[in-house]
Amino acid sequence: MPGALFLALQHDSGRMERGGRRRSEAEEAEKGRMKRTIIKDWKTRLSYFLQNSSNSTKIKSKKVGKQRTYFKPSPEEAQLWSEAFDELLANKYGLAAFRAFLKSEFCEENIEFWLACEDFKKTKSPQKLTSKAKKIYNDFIEKEAPKEINIDFQTKNMIAQNIQEATHTCFSAAQKRVYSLMESNSYPRFLESEFYQELCKKTHITRTAQGT
């Protein structure tokens, strides 16, 4: 009788072990599937941003007869983005990848505001400066703006006053604040993301020994 009980317990233990192993394998398979889905979604978003950047550059460059094509960076180039936030923003592919990442986290308004400010500072026409200042204010600054950024009430009031007589420094304080937020929060998370890690991976080529 004790021997039969031992065999029964051993049988149950074996079934539980096999069941646990199957669950573990299923969980790993699900994790792998989710990872592939995330990377695929990233690539779709990245293609969209690169396409828009490419089209914009082509339109601007027709005057001088030049067109630019943006290629996927090498692992070494991608790794440079981790050295400084400015390195990432200065690279067209890196910027598009970062925008895709922020979009996936539903906080793309920060990089869009920063880019709008960069464009604003390059504006030469006083008329265009005023119209762009109002658009940036309506899109990102005023209460319940469609892409409202997270800045303090005092800065918002200062901007509201400054855009009445727009200058290139209207949004300087807000842009610095948003830059700091991205550098300290979003940038480290981007560097830890699956997509960035994939870009940094080196392709290993297996060479077969040649027979003599």
Handedness of CA 83, 87, 89, 94 (dihedral sign): negative
Do residues 79 and 87 make contact, with C-beta atoms less than 8 angstroms apart? Answer: no
What is the tens place of the pLDDT at every residue in 154-183?
999 999 999 999 999 999 999 999 999 999
What is the tens place of the pLDDT at every residue in 52-108?
544 444 434 444 444 444 578 999 999 999 999 999 999 999 999 999 999 988 889
What is the model's pLDDT at position 46? Answer: 64
Distance between CA atoms of residues 155 and 178, nearest Å: 12
Q: Which residue has the higher pLDDT, 64 or 46?
A: 46
Instruction: Tell me the average pLDDT across 127-153.
Output: 95
DSSP code string of 113-140: HHHHHHHHHT---HHHHHHHHHHHIIII
Query: pLDDT above 90 covers what percent of the chain?
Result: 56
Q: Is the pTM of this model over 0.85?
A: no
**Residue 164 CA: distances (Å) to CA of 100, 133, 160, 167, 172:** 34, 9, 7, 9, 15
